[in-house]
Structure 1
Amino acid sequence: MSDSGYCSRRFADKLIEKNRVTINGMVPELGTKVIPGDKVCVDGMEIKASDSNHTDRVYIAYNKPIGITCTTELQVRGNIIDAIGHPKRIFPIGRLDKPSEGLIFLTSDGDIVNKILRAENAHDKEYVVTVDQPISERFVERMSKGVPILGTITKPCIVTPESKYVFRIILTQGLNRQIRRMCEYLGYEVTKLNRSRIMNVELGQLRPGQWRDLTENEMAEINAAVAGSRKTAMGDDFTEPKMEAKAKAVEVPKKIDIAADIKHANKVITSKANKYSEKKLTRIDVKKPAATSSGKKRLSLKKKS
């Protein structure tokens, strides 16, 4: 089923476990071998073998708009499959958060999904990120060296300031909401995130919501890059696995100044709290009581703006 491009190996196992797969009309067990001539069906629909040269498989680049969800579950409103409307059955390679936008691959090739997503392949992914406050040298240095999130330290990466609030970052990891979590740890909030490049493929002139087929040269470079990758089962929905469950706890290196980070974070929190709680208040000055003609004292109140 994976070789045919119908789904990933992990998802094929789940379909078999749920007795949704038949071989020659019989429900198989996990590990059952299929030989030429066997009829394999999912929910009664026959799965055809793909061409040996894979020319029938689909590989596209899509500029995902904000609000689209990277899932193959058609009951989810705003899912990426309905948004693209491709005539063939395709699924995303990896994911982009719903509030994020930019480049994502989709394919009908179940094998290449796992090869590309394997973390140790160290494939570049480039993002343009906008944050809610000016970028400091310390921020760039800390992001570049690694930040403790999800029980681990992020790998060193390349961070380049673009403007006062915008920077570029090149990652070789795919931790859950990684960039947003990294910025949050350092006291920043991401207001816009756009993925501009994956490996050798750039977003280019694709407008949000548009897609195109990957070129022969792009596919040749991608296949060369993943040639040594093993086929490994990944998570459901053909997306990157939830790293919270897989991340191993490690000790924070001594070189990371946690005290300084806490002090910096508290300063940022205090600054934001003051910014959002400021109100124009009317002050009242109370003057000393003055004697009146009747011998009684009264208070004189004066308002100041």
Structure 2
Amino acid sequence: MRLSQYVSIAGACSKRAANRLISAGKVCVNGVLADNHTVINGSESITLGGQLITLPDHFSYVIYNKPVGIDCNYRSQDPASLINHLDLPKRLFPVGRLDKDSHGLLLLTDDGGLCHRLLSPEFHYRKTYHVSVRPHFNKPDIDVQFCRLMEQGVDIGQAVTLPCRVQLLGANRFEIVLTQGLNRQIRKMSRALGYHVIDLQRVEISGCKLGELPEGKWRSLSDKEVELLVN
């Protein structure tokens, strides 16, 4: 993980403030002055202003049902910021992002190691979404052929997406399971095939399901759910 993320998860300050402190020469890794490009694995000795900082001994894991319109940033001056809409007993950080115009399951934790694994493409964590689309340019409603094209991988400009699993849920509605996390990936995939996403909800991350959790509410993960994520 990046050094600024470690400093933030350790509770010393926000990630933005951590970047400023690193740039100011206040942070050392194993006794050596660090910079903002420093990446660590968590086993190093990290000091801030000469004081050792460490990650928590006990980690927290929370699922939040994010509504549309909430931004996953932590800028308190932004009325749409997650920090102004989520009342948690301790500071936790979102694992990845869920677009402001998307909704559903957002995982938050102070476990930096898990965060790194979930965001790393080499671990292939599954993320499941329910998506509704509107056809463009007199396109027909989506069908099995649409699902096959999505599954094979779609050229979205900067990349061809990895194979995934897609199944129809109803009229112009489908479920997609990704192990990839490109920026606005599902929207770009759909647009490349001639469809506009009108609703996108994440419902599961690697066995941890949104279920009946009301929109705007959060809950702690069960021990079984944590085990699914960390093992």
Report TM bin, short chain: 0.7 to 0.9
Whether 1:94 and 2:96 are equivalent positions in the alignment is yes
Give 1:110 shift: 2.5
Superposition map of 1:62-211 within 5 A? 62-133=64-135, 134-211=141-218
Give 1:3 shift: 7.8
Q: 1:191 to 1:116 in 2, by over 3 A?
A: same
State the secondary structure of the residue aligned to 1:208. Answer: coil
Measured on the aligned residues, the alpha-carbon RMSD in Å equals 2.9
Unaligned runs of 5+ residues in structure 1 are 225-305
Instruction: Give the one of 30, 33, 47 matched to 1:29.
Output: 33
Give 1:217 shift: 1.4
State the secondary structure of the residue aligned to 2:128. Answer: strand
Unaligned runs of 5+ residues in structure 2 are 39-43, 136-140
CA contact under 8 A between 1:3 and 1:109: conserved in structure 2? no
Q: Match of 2:22?
A: 17
Amino acid at match of 2:229: I
Q: Match of 2:61?
A: 59
Deviation string for 1:100-138 (max 9, x for gaps)?
000010112233211211011111000000011421232
Deviation string for 1:35-89 (max 9, x for gaps)?
8xx7x459xxx886445xx32x221011110000011222222111221121312
Q: 1:138 to 1:22 in 2, by over 3 A?
A: closer
CA contact under 8 A between 2:27 and 2:34: conserved in structure 1? no
Amino acid at match of 1:5: I
Q: 1:107 to 1:21 in 2, by over 3 A?
A: farther
CA contact under 8 A between 2:9 and 2:93: conserved in structure 1? no
Give 1:4 shift: 8.4
Q: Match of 1:6?
A: 10
CA contact under 8 A between 1:81 and 1:91: conserved in structure 2? no
Task: Point out the structure with max Rg over C-alpha.
Answer: 1
CA contact under 8 A between 2:132 and 2:199: conserved in structure 1? yes
- What is the total number of aligned residue pairs between the two structures? 209
Deviation string for 1:175-229 (max 9, x for gaps)?
01000000000110011000010001000111110101111111122111xxxxx
Percent identity, please: 36
Give distance in 1, aligned partners of 2:68 and 2:158.
29
* TM-score for the superposition, normalised by structure 1: 0.62
Give distance in 2, aligned partners of 1:140 and 1:17.
47
Give distance in 1, aligned partners of 2:152 and 2:54.
47
Give distance in 2, aligned partners of 1:135 and 1:14.
46
* TM-score for the superposition, normalised by structure 2: 0.80
